[in-house]
Structure 1
């Protein structure tokens, strides 16, 4: 393993939604990864600029749930500071919604939940950046019920019919992904258990179909998701 002095802070909301493919890539590059669990760890004790990379991961809550989950406000402040200082910051699903929120955008419930495997449509900017590895045809995992607008100065990279803002870039070093480029393979069996209530309550979604599609698409996602993250890390100097 190569030795570097690079460090990554990963903010996690539920144990089974982790760094996935990105974690394996960071380990291969010799980056030291520190997980913090947003619901139980003291986020106010963290120096947001003490890490080379911050990744805010997904979870089954939304930014509009801050009254019930006040730690979301602490995450907002951490992300705001990273963005102001133009430090490498990646948000996935809930993480991307927190980034959009920190940039002043509205986050709101979508007309329908988007759960399952489907491709995203890349914008011209998306085709010119790390998302080009998805080629507009590779199905990725979607698992969200909220959408967000994009504030001035934010560049849209991808969309779907249900979600007009699937990915965005801000400044030089911030990337938000509404979809899960990090998730594939047998690890998703933990998701199928952890999200069983939501799966059962969402019309047209079943564990059997999610499992079959995961088996069908994981090999391509592993290759293309890893390439996407490697490209982005290179572009932000990591």
Structure 2
């Protein structure tokens, strides 16, 4: 469990680290706050303030900020200070990159994967569908397993590494919890992709995975907009 704290009365919600690597926790919390707009563009990232508010030393904060800089989420100024970049379109950009990477992955999987590998992906999708509406943690685990299993089946270690890196910008990273209806739609996409893979229909598999990411972006934008207005999506 983690304890919730706020930077200030109007600031972003962050959580105090417990049982996980400190740098990973700090990086995830800051990235989530930036992507959701809780830490607005132009905000100065002050190590001492962040370390106090996250109840960690300055070292993991400094390392986390370096990671954010490499991701383009913060900018280092000539005077040495660091500010949050304009990231209102960053999530869309990242999902477009994931769309391209995973489009390549399904094509390579159709060509390179063994029959047992593709059968396992399909079984996983069917099992997830049988389980019905999962809780957030289960949904996140199932989603990660699906996308990374296709990346592995592509046979490209470089592509797998890139997809793993960009997967960190998933719903869970941004703090989005899809409604049961939204989860069902995304799960149906997974099943369609897996079915196309079994048929080794690379064109259809790529078409479906691209459609899937269009839907992911639509859902993400809808949730972020509702969060900014202080409302929550209603389960339908």
Higher strand share: 1
Q: TM-score, normalised by structure 1?
A: 0.24
Higher helix share: 2
Q: TM-score, normalised by structure 2?
A: 0.24
Larger Rg: 2
